[in-house]
């Protein structure tokens, strides 16, 4: 009989590692929060992680993986009451483990925001219309690029000129790829990366934040740290 060793799949090893790290974070920190977000920006999240690394740990991973680590019922929860967090892990959500006082965490999340350029498919927060005439903010080398984005432009004595009024985007409507590219070169930022607390657990308390609950769902990220 030949016995062959079977290697674990990389995905399973990664999930197991995340579960272990979450269980370790539970032991090292006094409270845990579920949070949700709008317009995720990975670099800004990394900056926040670096800011909090002495007191906290943030996880963005598969929802089932995080739920397994916390426990989904009183019978399998890592600590008393922790399973209550699991049902709030849905849509765009993550976990924060921290030793910071509650007031500090609430203030941090309330004040945190980072403006950035909106991506294709994002909803325009305002109508942007360019009027007929010279676009002096652009060099002549930009004329082919602008035309490719649907702008009715031409070169007039080396100056990029819009030959007719042009609506780049309309408030409340999704951005096309061309609109997103045009807004970027115009320097117009329409996306704001924000974080919202959904609920909080500690050994003697559990509470839900209504504002965060209202924002729960939407875009998702799959990343652990």
Residue pLDDT, tens place only, 24-67 = 999 999 999 999 998 888 888 899 999 999 999 999 888 999 99
The residue-averaged pLDDT of 105-130 equals: 92
- State residue 5's pLDDT score: 57
Give the confidence band of 224 by pLDDT, cuts at 50, 70, 90: very low
Instruction: Select from 186, 113, 107 the least CA-distant residue to 145.
Output: 186
Nearest to 57 by CA among 98, 26, 89: 98
Residue 81 has pLDDT above 80, yes or no: yes
Instruction: Convert the pLDDT of each residue in 129-160 to its tens digit.
Output: 999 999 989 999 999 999 999 999 999 989 99
User: Does residue 6 carry a pLDDT above 70?
Assistant: no
For the segment(s) 122-189, the CATH number from 3.90.105.20, 3.30.70.520, 3.20.10.10, 3.40.50.2000 is 3.90.105.20
Rounded mean pLDDT, 72-85: 92
Q: End-to-end distance of the chain based on CA atoms, in angstroms?
A: 42
The whole-number pLDDT of residue 95 equals 96
The verdict on pTM exceeding 0.85 is no
Residue 87, phi then psi, degrees to nearest 5: -70, -15
In sign, the C-alpha dihedral spanning 177, 219, 192, 22 is negative
Cβ-Cβ contacts under 8 Å for 65 (sequence gap 6 or more): 15, 18, 19
Q: Is the pLDDT of residue 85 over 90?
A: yes
Domain boundaries, the chain: 14-114+193-215, 122-189
- CATH class in words for 14-114+193-215: alpha beta
Label residue 92 by pLDDT band (50, 70, 90): confident
Q: What is the pLDDT of residue 218?
A: 52
């Amino acid at each position: 009989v030949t016995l062959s060793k079977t290697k674990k799949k990389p995905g399973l090893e990664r999930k197991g590692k995340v579960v272990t790290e979450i269980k370790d974070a539970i032991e090292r920190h006094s409270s845990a929060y579920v949070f949700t977000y709008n317009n995720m920006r990975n670099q800004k999240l990394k900056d926040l992680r670096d800011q909090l690394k002495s007191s906290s740990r943030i996880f963005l991973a598969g929802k089932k993986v995080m739920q397994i680590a916390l426990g989904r019922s009183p019978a399998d929860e890592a600590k008393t009451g922790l399973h209550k967090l699991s049902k709030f892990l849905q849509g765009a959500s993550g976990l924060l483990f921290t030793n910071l006082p509650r007031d500090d965490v609430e203030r941090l999340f309330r004040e945190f925001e980072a403006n950035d350029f909106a991506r294709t498919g994002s909803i325009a927060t305002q109508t942007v219309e360019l009027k007929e005439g010279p676009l002096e903010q652009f060099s002549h080398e930009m004329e082919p690029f602008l035309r490719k984005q649907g702008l009715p432009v031409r070169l007039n004595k080396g100056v990029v000129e819009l030959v007719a009024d042009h609506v780049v985007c309309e408030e409340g409507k999704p951005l096309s790829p061309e609109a997103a590219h045009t807004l970027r070169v115009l320097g117009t930022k329409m996306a704001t990366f924000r974080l919202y607390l959904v609920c909080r657990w500690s050994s003697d308390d559990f509470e839900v934040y209504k504002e965060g609950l209202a924002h729960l769902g939407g875009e998702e990220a799959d990343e652990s740290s």
